[in-house]
A and B are shown apart, each in its own frame.
Chain A
């Protein structure tokens, strides 16, 4: 796992990058001029975001991202609490949420199901083992009680 600063520093060595983002645009574009310039040099750049931004304008492919109200999934907060997310409104891309786009790209059949993805995740990565079961109304803690 690399930090984003490390990615920006190493951008010159990359041939291709698929970057997913979904920051609420309240405070403006989430990446500034220097960062955009660094990533724009990558020959194959795909950006998946909520709205157009300087970074998306420099990309070769731009895919629409779904906001929190438009997709199923789960969020893990700073304290390690994983809570389930449910979609409330349909996205403009009509069901082609972030997860569904990944399924298409991986050439996996069917529709994205958050619970199934969580179970796969729980099998592959022991830290996410609590996600295999029911998340409950209040979420589940990851990484044991000490956090």
Chain B
């Protein structure tokens, strides 16, 4: 079993192949990171997860590496020592954030990601309070229609390349790419090839800042007003785990919920964007019933439920459903013969009614000729018809 020491705390990672970010999470320590994601390849480009790493030798001495290294790129093996909160590591984290924030616009008041932004969170916990930037910030033009559901605020991008790797490795369509180099690099698409794959919405969840936005949710609600409920998508039989973000009985968005047993980390756009009907105007809100034999009209619950139950109970007992003139009046007791029912288009001829079967069996017990010893006037309901069916004598 491999034992890794994170901030002087040993943690057994068993035989799993983990990097130091994952090993640290097992020890309850969070190493800030932007570009690493468990479902994507490792690039170690953001430099946010820089930590001090060393090795504990069998004789007990610890040899630390002279420079900080990215934790996402460092495999955790037996004897690895990782220090995340040392002066060197903290200085590295602070400088990384300063570098990212140099050209980052002050968009928090108008940015959708505020409240769930990793740049905000990490700056608060690991960053500097002031900026040394005195030059004008780089402001590349935004791309509001980079996809049917996706909009890109290019100036907010921190070039973590999660979206590029997602479209390349997971979606397979590779629409997004890094264009230009160095100071001018930005995320872009090939002209005429927008991000319209079935998994496109996931790049918005992956983006650590508010660069990629979901046009469906843009400017609709602040995330700190939203409550999140764990649920399951009803769009198809995959049953992806989701979060339903809602406020005041209105559903504002659907996000994927990680479930290694169901769908993993991502959900498709069909499930993600198909929630508008929940609060739609076309939704039925109250029972409808044909009370006067005519059109469907709204019925109170106190009326509709007993009526519905009554009709079904009667149907289960073999009494044909009441004809239109009896609807809503509760007087129907089934005193109609089968011939009328057939004329109305109900039970077809030859179909033996359940109640009639019981009574026919009762009559045959009394006499082989089907007579029960009583004489019925011709044409009355008590007389058996030619098919041997007995009418309901009630």
Contact = CB atoms under 8 A, between A and B. Distances in A.
Contacts of A60: 289-290, 311, 321, 327
B289 A89 contact: no
A85 to B, nearest CB: 5
A59 B289 CA distance: 8
Contact of A44 (B235, B237, B312): B312
A107 B308 CA distance: 12
Contacts of A139: 241, 259, 261-262
A63 interface: yes
A128 to B, nearest CB: 16
Interface of A: 12-13, 15-16, 18, 22, 24-26, 41, 43-44, 46, 49-52, 56-57, 59-65, 67-70, 74-78, 81, 83-93, 96, 101, 104-105, 107, 137-139, 141
A43 B246 contact: no
A16 B308 contact: no
Contacts of A12: 348
B229 interface: yes
A50 B277 contact: yes
Interface residues of B, number: 57
A123 to B, nearest CB: 24
A62 B237 contact: no
A51 B280 contact: yes
Interface string B237-281: 111010010100111000000011110000000100011011110
B309 interface: yes
Interface string B138-182: 000000000000000000000000000000000000000000000
Contacts of A50: 277, 283-284
A40 to B, nearest CB: 10
Nearest to A67: B278
Given A51-B282, A52-B284, A13 B261 contact: no
Contact of A83 (B262, B278, B285): B262
B346 interface: yes
A43 B346 contact: yes
A62 B296 contact: yes
The 4 residue pairs across chains A and B that have the minimum distance between CB atoms: A92-B285, A77-B239, A64-B284, A16-B315
Given A51-B280, A61-B304, A88-B251, 8 more contacts: A16-B321, A18-B312, A43-B321, A61-B290, A88-B229, A92-B284, A138-B259, A138-B260
Interface string B218-235: 000000000101111111
B345 interface: yes
Given A44-B312, A81-B239, A139-B259, A89 B249 contact: yes
Contacts of A13: 348, 351
A85 B290 CA distance: 33
B274 A26 contact: yes
